[in-house]
Structure 1
Amino acid sequence: MAERVYLVINVDSDPDPVSVYQDDASLLAKYGRMRAILAEHAGGAAAWTVLTGPVCRDRFFEPPFTDFWRELDGDGADLVLHAEEDLYGPPPGKEPGSCSYFDIDHMRPLILEKAAAMRRLGLPFAAYRGGYHGFTSAIGAVVKEAGIGIELSCAPGIVWPDKAAAWQGAPLSAYYMSAQEPARLAAPGEAGALFEIPWAWDGVAPGTARPRVVGENYIINEFSNLPAMRRVWDAVALRASTAAEPQIVSMVCHTYTMGQPEFEDRLTGILTYIAEQGGQFVTPRTARRLFDQRCADAVAA
C-alpha cells in the first residue's frame, strides 16, 4: 500500500560548487526554479535548508534571501537550519580535516544564534540538519534548547566517525530519538525527544559511490539515477505494505543543479513516479503530526 508512505523532500540550498562565487540573483533564480518544480509535482510540500558555514555565516539570514524564505513560509514549506561547518572550510582556528560537530562549544552558540535570528524575523526553524549526516547527542540537546523539535540528519546505515555520523542500526522510518543514542528509539516516557525523519534507504548497503556521499541505495537526486531512486522507493513501499506502521522517510535534492536538464528531469521523474505509486509529499511538521495522531489513535483504540 504505497499510499501509506510519506515523503519529506529535503531541499539543500547550498551554493555549490564552493569554488565558484554565485551572486544573489543567480542563486535566487535556481531557488525559484526548484520552487516551481516542487509546486507542480509535490504541491510545494518540502523542507528548505538555510545554510550557515565558515564562509557564509550570515549571508542567507539577510535580504534578499530572507524575503525568499518568507515566501516559502507563506507557501507552507518548512525551513531547516543547516550548519555546514566542514564542507565550506573549517571554522577559524580549526585544522583542515577536523570535525566541528564534536566541538559543542563551537556548535552551541552557532545553533542558538541562528535559530534566534530567524525567530526574530517570524520565521522559526521547523528542523535541523547537519552536514555529512553529522549529529551528536550534545547537538541534539542544543537543537531542543533552540526550540527546534525535528531532526533530518539520519541516513540509516551510514557510519562516518570523522564526520560524527553514526547511524548504524537506525530505524528506517520516522521515530522519536533517544537523547543519548540518536540512532535509537527514545525510551517510553522520555520527555522532549526530537522527531527524526531518516533518508529513504533500500536497506541493502550504505552508499559508497563517492567518499562522504550516499549513493544509489538512497534517494538523493544528484548522486543517483532515476532507476535506482525508483528501486529505493519500491523498497520503502514494500516495507509499508508489510509493516504495522506507515513509512515516513525523506529524500534530498540540491538547488545548485537547477537549470541543468539532466538533474531537473531526474527530479521530476522521481516525484512523478512517487505520486503515481500513491506516495504522499509532506513537510516535516506535517509528518510529525501524522505520526503523533497515529500514536494517539492507537492508544485510544
Structure 2
Amino acid sequence: MVFGADDNRVYLVPVVDVNWLVFAPFDPGRDFRIDPPDPDQALVDLRTLMPIMRDLTDGKYVLTPHSGTYCRAAFYEGALADLYREACAGGADVAIHLHEEIKGAGVRFGERAHVTEVMEQCRLLLERSGISPVAYRGGHYAYAPFMNALLEQAGLLVDYSCCPGLDRPDRESVWTEAPTTAAMLPLAPRAPWRGQPVSNVLEIPIGSDGLGSAYGNILHVEQSDLENLLRIWNVIVNRAEESGTPQIVHCLFHTASVQDAAWLDRYRRFLEEVSARKGQFVTSVEARGLHERFEAAE
C-alpha cells in the first residue's frame, strides 16, 4: 500500500507485566534470586500507572499478570483483579502470563499437561472476577510447539511471546523464523513460516530492529534507554514505509518498574513519542482486526 502523509505506519500494543522485584531465575550472578511476591506493592504500582496509560494511550494496553512456580494465584485475584476490571472498562485487556521457571534448574514450559492445567487455573480465576482474558504471553518468550492448540482451545487468539530471532531451546523460546510484525502462527512455529498452514492465533512480536534478540534490539523499556528505543521505533516505521505494509508490534514494561523514577519517566517519554512518529496505540482485539483488514487488502 501507499501511505498518505498522515497515515499511521506502526500499531503498538503496550504490554504491561504485573510483577514484583526481584525475579531472576536464570541469573547465577544473583544466585537465581527470587524475592517473595508482593501483590500489595503491585496494587500501588498499578494504581500509579493506570492514569498515565489513560492519558497517554487512551487506556489501550494489555495487562499480563504473572502466574508461575513461585506465585501461582496472588496476581489473579482480590484487589488486583478489581483493578484489572477497571482497566478493561477503560479500554485495556488482559492476557494470561505464565512463568514456569525453576530457579537454576530449567523450565516446565515444555510439559503440556502442566501448562494446560495452570493456564486453565488462571483463566478461571480471571473469569470469576468478571474478566475475560483474550491473549497469552509466555515468560521469557517461551512458546512450546503445542501452544497453538492450547490457545485455540482456551479462546486466547492473540499471543505476545515472540522475540524475533531469539534461540533458547533450553527455555522453550525459539523464534528464529518469526517475522518482525504480526502474523498468524504457523502449525510449526520453529520451522520456516512461509508456505505453512496457519493456526488461528495471531502472534504480535515485541518491536525489533531485526538485527538480533538482545535487549538493545527490542522495545523492552527498562533494559534500554530512550535514544535507543526511538532508534528501534524509527527502524520499524521505515520498515513499514519500505515494504508498504503497516507494522503491528508490542513494547514491554513492568508494574514494579514504576518504583524507579527514571524507568517510569523513560516509559512516559517513549509513549509520548509514538503518536508523533507515525504510531497508534491499539488493544489486542483491535490489533487482530487490523491484521485481518491488512491481509484482506493485499
TM-score, normalised to structure 2's length? 0.89
- Please show how residues 132-171 of structure 1 align to structure 2 within 5 Å: 132-171=140-179
- Please show how residues 99-138 of structure 1 align to structure 2 within 5 Å: 99-138=107-146
- 2:151·2:157 contact (CA, 8 Å) conserved in 1? yes
Post-superposition offset of 1:120: 3.7
Deviates more, 1:142-151 or 1:227-236: 142-151
- Please show how residues 31-180 of structure 1 align to structure 2 within 5 Å: 31-86=46-101, 89=102, 96-180=104-188
CA distance in 2, matches of 1:128, 1:243: 28
CA distance in 2, matches of 1:224, 1:114: 31
Residue 10 of structure 1 is aligned with which of 12, 15, 30? Answer: 15
Deviations along 1:67-106, one digit per CA (max 9) or x if unpaired, are: 11110111110101000111xx46xxxxx42221111121
CA distance in 2, matches of 1:63, 1:103: 29
Instruction: Give 2:68's aligned amino acid.
Output: G
Post-superposition offset of 1:21: 3.8
Question: Do the aligned partners of residues 184 and 32 (structure 1) sit closer, same or farther apart at CA in structure 2, a change above 3 Å counting?
Answer: farther
Question: Do the aligned partners of residues 63 and 184 (structure 1) sit closer, same or farther apart at CA in structure 2, a change above 3 Å counting?
Answer: farther
Question: Do the aligned partners of residues 182 and 280 (structure 1) sit closer, same or farther apart at CA in structure 2, a change above 3 Å counting?
Answer: farther
Deviates more, 1:34-43 or 1:124-133: 34-43
- Please show how residues 224-243 of structure 1 align to structure 2 within 5 Å: 224-243=224-243
Asked if 1:202 corresponds to 2:209, the answer is yes
- 1:9·1:45 contact (CA, 8 Å) conserved in 2? yes
Post-superposition offset of 1:145: 1.0
- 1:186·1:193 contact (CA, 8 Å) conserved in 2? no
- Stretches of structure 1 that go unaligned for 5 or more consecutive residues are 91-95, 208-214
- Please show how residues 278-289 of structure 1 align to structure 2 within 5 Å: 278-289=278-289
CA distance in 1, matches of 2:129, 2:75: 13
Moved over 3 A (4+): 18-25, 182-190
Instruction: Give 1:270's aligned amino acid.
Output: F
- Please show how residues 214-293 of structure 1 align to structure 2 within 5 Å: 215-293=215-293
Question: Do the aligned partners of residues 77 and 53 (structure 1) sit closer, same or farther apart at CA in structure 2, a change above 3 Å counting?
Answer: same
- 1:47·1:283 contact (CA, 8 Å) conserved in 2? yes
CA distance in 1, matches of 2:91, 2:191: 29
Post-superposition offset of 1:139: 2.1
Instruction: Give 1:231's aligned amino acid.
Output: R
CA distance in 2, matches of 1:145, 1:196: 16
Q: Secondary structure at the match of 1:137?
A: coil
What is the alpha-carbon root mean square deviation over aligned residues? 1.9
Q: Sequence identity, in percent?
A: 28
Post-superposition offset of 1:184: 5.1
Q: Secondary structure at the match of 2:105?
A: coil
Post-superposition offset of 1:11: 0.4
- 1:9·1:281 contact (CA, 8 Å) conserved in 2? yes
Q: Secondary structure at the match of 2:97?
A: strand
Residue 210 of structure 1 corresponds to which residue in structure 2? none
Instruction: Give 2:162's aligned amino acid.
Output: C
- 1:9·1:251 contact (CA, 8 Å) conserved in 2? yes
Post-superposition offset of 1:244: 2.7
CA distance in 2, matches of 1:175, 1:245: 12
- 1:177·1:184 contact (CA, 8 Å) conserved in 2? no
Post-superposition offset of 1:173: 0.5
Deviates more, 1:103-112 or 1:180-189: 180-189
Residue 30 of structure 1 is aligned with which of 42, 45, 69? Answer: 45
Question: Do the aligned partners of residues 12 and 84 (structure 1) sit closer, same or farther apart at CA in structure 2, a change above 3 Å counting?
Answer: same
Instruction: Give 2:78's aligned amino acid.
Output: P
- 2:219·2:252 contact (CA, 8 Å) conserved in 1? yes
